[in-house]
Amino acid sequence: MRGLAMAGVVVNAGIMVTGAGVRVTGSGLGCPTWPDCTPGSLVPRGTENPTVHTAVEFGNRLLTFLVIAVGIACFVAALRLPYGATGKRRPDLVKLAAVQPFYVVGQAMVGGLTVLTKLNPAVVSLHFLLSVPLVLAAFALWVRSGEGTGPAVPAVRNELRWLGRGLLVVVLALIVAGTLVTGSGPHGGDPQAPRYPFNMQDVAQLHADIVWITVGLTFALLLALRLTGAPGRATRAAAILLGVELAQGVIGYVQYFLGVPELLVMLHVLGAALVWIATLNVYFTLRERSEVPGVVGRGEA
């Protein structure tokens, strides 16, 4: 169950990166229609677009089926997983697992809307942002499948849990600001794609300001965890998050001053996914769930 749950995290984060690949290669309209790739055909046929653009866009569409397959596998595993002395399934895991396959279908429909609106930046931003709660659901399934079913109890002081919640909100704001930068920049997925009416430097500055707030909050949380004798796994999670943030910041500044080259853009999107996952890891380590009678063994978030 945990292996499949982690596979869900990987594929949902991975398709965020491949989606960026579609955009930076100018392949957003490589398949000019939806749900067909070309008029009257689900697969590329008779398209006027360059072959590489069609292959990139169609390949990304095919990856959606992998994500759905992993989601279905997680759901089936949750249904079949016996738990405790009674051997009954765990409703919490079934609910979290059920989110993925159905959510992915909805996400794919929004992806189709990006094509039908000719890559409107607001719709493209929405398509990316909808992956954020999907990664959350997949990661929560991974965490919960390694815990007991007892009630969640704080693993750190209450003030630190609030700091963790605040960090979660700021990282969400950071990701949203990143989509504004993307929608104002040169990589719209097609030369004719519309752009946000924002000044690129202004939104990049806003994004950078939120980056420094995020780094400051993470450092404060890490320091507070060390000073209050918090569990080692929480301190390690915060240290990992800080390291990922710093690496992501370096990539962000380098790509900006180099004129946002395609490869660095994709690495930056990968970094955004990793920052989100590392933030979730910190959040879940700030609480724990106890064992219940009849359960043997317990994993860590």
**CA–CA distance, 301 with 292 (Å, rounded to integer):** 17
| Average pLDDT for the chain | 90
Architecture of domain 151-294: Up-down Bundle (1.20)
pLDDT in tens, 102-126: 999 999 999 999 999 999 999 999 9
pTM for this entry: 0.92
pLDDT in tens, 57-70: 999 999 999 999 99
pLDDT on residue 50: 63
Asked whether the predicted pLDDT for residue 291 surpasses 70, the reply is no
Q: What ranges do the domains of the chain cover?
A: 1-146, 151-294
pLDDT on residue 301: 39
Phi, psi of 40 (to 5 degrees): 80, 5
Q: Six-digit token pair at 176?
A: 């949203």
Q: Where are the beta strands (DSSP E) in 120-182?
A: 152-154
Torsion of CA 225, 9, 268, 243, to 10 degrees: 20
pLDDT in tens, 155-183: 999 999 999 999 999 999 999 999 999 99
